[in-house]
Chains A and B, each alone.
Chain A
Amino acid sequence: MIHQHFRVEKEDYANAGRISSQIKQMLKQLGVSSEVLRRIAISCYEAEINMIIHSYGGEVVLSLTAEGQCELKFADIGPGIEDVEKAMTPGWSTAKASAREFGFGAGMGLPNIKRNCDEFTLTTSPEGTTLVIGFRVL
């Protein structure tokens, strides 16, 4: 059983991807298969980048149960997603130029996360957005 918290800062582009890399390494050491690990890594990285680009900051919580269920929760403190339906549409983006400079903001993040995970729950309000994604790892 693992339960670990990681802090994400607003617009911390210098460290973008570091948390996803740590989580990937942890799960690899625990013997998660490469196919599932790749899906987790892609989803986690996209969600981490989203938090850095769009939110005021927040945290990532990794949970792994003895039954082999891996859950990643991305909870930020705002400003929320104005139109979830549009945010889930491939190619639609509100990212700033600073995000595009390092290869993101093409509007593929949330659709790609949903495609790669086994469970997907997104709730949002101006006070914050919480994305919970689940994977069966055993």
Chain B
Amino acid sequence: MTLNKIIELLKAEPLCISDPNCLHRSFEHVSATDLMSDALALVQSDSEKTILVTGLVHAQSLRTAEMLDINVVVYVRGKIMSEHDHQLAKEMGMNVFTTKASMYDACGILYSNGLLTAVV
């Protein structure tokens, strides 16, 4: 599913777009967690096809995505980044969105539309 479609399903808004082409790229896997240790330990899917969904609005969710080579992060519950984190996201080439959906609802929407877990 294209990132454009994912964003539409989640009614998400962009917070930082470093690579506009990523909107047309296809994604298949989701890592949904507020525990960065879990993401680092468990994500096994192709990072180019994986998005990180989290309620942790912090530089460390961006750092975790960076280490995993994931460059799309979606914050749930309408959370937004600080100016510092926005700058960091730009430097990393990260694409960051926010949705008003809860973690539960965001995962339900993505799962019922065919996206798979990143824990393969």
Contacts and interface: CB of A to CB of B under 8 A. Distances in A.
Interface of A: 14, 16-17, 20-21, 24, 34, 38, 41-42, 45-46, 90, 101-109, 111-112, 115
B13 interface: no
B37 A105 contact: yes
Interface stretch (B18-26, B55-63, B95-103): B55-63
Contact of A34 (B61, B63, B67, B69): B69
Contacts, number: 71
* Chain A facing B: main interface SS: helix
B61 A112 contact: no
Given A42-B68, A108-B37, A21 B60 contact: no
B72 to A, nearest CB: 16
B69 A102 contact: no
Interface residues of B, number: 21
A126 B113 CA distance: 53
Contact of A103 (B34, B67, B92): B34
Interface of B: 34-38, 40-41, 47, 54, 56, 58-61, 63-64, 66-69, 92
A10 B40 CA distance: 22
A45 B40 contact: yes
A90 B56 CA distance: 22
29 contacts: A16-B60, A17-B60, A17-B67, A20-B63, A20-B67, A21-B63, A21-B66, A24-B66, A24-B67, A34-B69, A38-B68, A41-B67, A41-B68, A42-B40, A42-B67, A42-B68, A45-B40, A45-B63, A46-B40, A101-B58, A102-B59, A103-B58, A103-B60, A103-B64, A104-B36, A108-B40, A109-B37, A112-B40, A112-B41
